[in-house]
Chains A and B, each alone.
Chain A
Amino acid sequence: MKNPYYSHPAKILKIRKESPDSNLYTLQFKEAKIQKAFHFHPGQFVMAGIVGYGEGPFDICSSSMETTTFDLSIRKVGKITQKIHTLEVGDTISVRGPYGHGFPMTKLNQKNLLLLGGGCGFVTMRTVILDYIKQKPKGQKIQVFFGVRSEKDFLFRQEFATWSKHVDLHLIIAEAKEKKSRYHQGVITDLFDKVKLLDNLAVIACGPPIMYKFCLARLKDYPISDEDIYLSLERRMDCGTGVCQHCAIGPYYVCKDGPVFSYGKIKDIQGAI
């Protein structure tokens, strides 16, 4: 019987500083057969951590078509992530997964997409963008709204130039910007006033609950059904398999039934958003 709690050692191949408190880790499972069997869908996550300290859920943010390595963007925010930030190339992170259901890309590829990412919630959008650039589904266009507090908080900054060639990228910062800055100033919902949205649109959003609240209010002005708005939720998780109850919302488990839910599915659930 497969042990659902067992995490496999993965080696850190590369660390890229993304922001003052976030690093991008490129990882590879030490066992070749585990790496070979590791396939994921955009929006899925892994339970990762350091043996002896703890583990938690992290969105995978590399292209799902990359099979030899995978990336996790980790922000230094708690006990485990602070410890992870002390690791160096060649050190080990323990990983199990992938878990949950990602974005329904087969369905979503029939529509244009609006990606809404707030702060470090943007992580999971990178997979969607990288896959789009590699696949380029016929006739599909993507708009990206990425909002952060200040310019230094942008993740994946060095990829923006490449992304801009393929997607309609809009970046916004909340704090006052410097003169001649190429970014918009304001909060992510301000972009709805500045940018004309595409037609036949589905939405993927990942960010703090407060961002969902205001973005959902703005999306009501557009002909987008609640079933075409997908949100990726964050919760505490211990098992990743829908047993330990930490991540439960109403009748669902964020780890097993999510982390991606259509807004239509969870809008009436107490405390979901």
Chain B
Amino acid sequence: MLNNLLYTKECDIIYPMKTNLKKLLKYIQQEHKLIAPIKKDHGVFLSQTKDLNKIILSSQLTENSFKDFLFPQEQELFDFKGAELVKPKQYTAPGLALFGISIIDLRALSLYAQVFRHDPYFQARGNNTIVIGYLKVATPDQTFGIFKERLEEDTLEHLEFDVFVLDSNTGLHFFSGSPKGQKALTQAGIEDFENVEYVGPVKESGLDQTMVANYKKVKNSFKTHRKLWEELGKRCLACGKCSLVCPTCFCFSTHYKFGQKKKTGKKVLNWDTCFYSEFSRVAGGHKFLDTVAKRIFFWYEHKFVRIPDELSIPGCVGCGRCIKVCPVAIDISRVLAELGKPVSKLASRKTLKKKKS
């Protein structure tokens, strides 16, 4: 069904359908703050906007991801008074509408839904947010992400979203993925949409084969490909930019912040990054991840070993944002390619860098 929607003759594009998207977003704006891809000086970012004309509809990924909004950099957990925490009576969150979320980022969002299934703060934000996925299909053989994935018949049923908009040259096609999405589409006056039932992140055909292949490559590679990790450790600046933009990085630490009144304040959760040397520090000063090589391997382990082991889904969705922001041009796809080679055929340091475009 999905593939049939993708291609017809160019002249079949039904422009009035675009009006439906405006109708939907206008309806959603009534009760939600709209977050959508907006052009800024240094790229297209998911940002809050009231002006629908500023929204960029493209097949390009935004520089940032949903995590800025559903898992903010600093989150208040509790107030405290004296020696005790004050438990929130209820968990509140602003009503957000996240529009323009790519299939790649929806995959990461499904991962977050699994990881934070017991976190009342994340759940409250999720419940108050309407997620509108969007895919603009430019060419029939379009692939996305560093793993060259394609849109397949069952792609949508393994993603968590409320509404999905497929923008192909046959026009706009709407899908609802939840009762919330159905309500929004109906209330916006869009009757021509298809319901997609979420059946979980793992396909019936079995585990994602790219994930399985990468798992094997990375798992014991600190021993088998030690030299490669040491080379990467020498090059990596441990700046943590990759983990900030990564839509599947979610590590955090908790802290106390004092308020104006004596012995009062807040317990907060902040993003952390495993690239910082303090990440593994225990009382007394010992750091288990005491070299950059160990820390960069730890980051790959999270994506390609730990998450697949725990949740049977890929911990890297292949967005490539880490490649884009890395100041020393470390390219995750090149590293994975090198890990697939026998040690004797490892490339030199230069080939681990991203190709010049």
Q: A interface vs B, CB < 8 Å? A: 1-7, 9, 50-56, 77-81, 91-92, 94, 234-236, 238-239, 241-246, 248, 250-252, 268, 270-271
Contact = CB atoms under 8 A, between A and B. Distances in A.
A268 B305 CA distance: 14
A256 to B, nearest CB: 9
Interface of B: 77-78, 80, 82-85, 87-88, 91, 115-116, 118-120, 123, 219-220, 222-223, 250-256, 258, 263, 265, 267, 269, 272, 274, 279-284, 288-289, 294, 297-298, 301-302, 305-306, 309-310
Contact of A235 (B85, B272, B288): B288
B282 A91 contact: no
Contacts of B118: 1-2, 4, 241
Contacts, number: 116
B85 A251 contact: no
Contact of A51 (B83, B91, B250): B83
Nearest to B263: A52
Contacts of B288: 235-236, 271
Nearest to B282: A236
B305 A250 contact: yes
Contacts of A78: 283-284
Given A244-B253, A246-B253, A268-B220, A5 B279 contact: no
B78 to A, nearest CB: 7
Nearest to A54: B256
Contacts of A242: 310
A238 B252 contact: yes
12 contacts: A1-B120, A2-B118, A2-B120, A52-B83, A52-B258, A81-B283, A236-B282, A239-B254, A245-B251, A245-B272, A252-B306, A270-B220
Given A6-B85, A250-B301, A270 B256 contact: no
A94 B280 contact: no
Given A3-B87, A242-B310, 16 more contacts: A1-B123, A2-B118, A5-B254, A7-B85, A52-B258, A53-B256, A79-B283, A94-B83, A235-B288, A239-B254, A244-B253, A245-B250, A246-B280, A250-B305, A270-B220, A270-B223
Given A5-B254, A270-B297, A235 B80 contact: no
B119 A9 contact: no
Contacts of A4: 118-119
Q: Which 4 A-B pairs have the closest CB atoms?
A: A78-B283, A245-B251, A251-B309, A92-B83
Contact of A243 (B91, B250, B274, B289): B250
Name the prevailing secondary structure of the B interface residues: mixed
Contact of B116 (A50, A77, A81, A243): A243
B71 to A, nearest CB: 11
Contact of A236 (B267, B279, B306, B309): B279
Given A56-B283, A244-B253, A268-B220, A51 B302 contact: no
Q: Which of A5, A235, A242 has the most CB of B within 10 A?
A: A5
A51 B310 contact: no
A172 B169 CA distance: 79
Contacts of B274: 245
Contacts of A92: 83-84
Contacts of B281: 236
Contacts of B302: 245, 248
Contacts of B305: 250-251
Contact of B283 (A50, A80, A268): A80
Contact of A244 (B77, B82, B85, B251): B251
A236 B123 CA distance: 26
B83 A50 contact: yes
A172 B116 CA distance: 46
Nearest to A3: B120
Contacts of B255: 54
Nearest to A7: B85
A227 to B, nearest CB: 19
Nearest to A249: B288
A2 B91 CA distance: 12
Contacts of B222: 270-271
Nearest to A1: B120
B270 to A, nearest CB: 10
A248 B123 contact: no
A179 B120 CA distance: 61
Nearest to B264: A52
Contacts of B252: 238-239, 243-244
Contacts of B91: 1
Contact of B80 (A5, A51, A239, A245): A51
Nearest to B274: A245
Given A9-B84, A245-B302, A238 B119 contact: no
B84 A271 contact: no
Contacts of A246: 251, 253, 272, 279-280
A51 B266 CA distance: 9
Contacts of B87: 3, 6
A21 B305 CA distance: 40
A56 B85 CA distance: 16
Nearest to A236: B282
Contacts of A81: 283
Nearest to A120: B284
A30 to B, nearest CB: 9
Given A52-B258, A246-B251, A251 B306 contact: yes
Contacts of A235: 280, 282, 288
Nearest to A50: B83
A155 B279 CA distance: 30
Contacts of B88: 3
A243 B284 contact: no
A239 B301 CA distance: 19
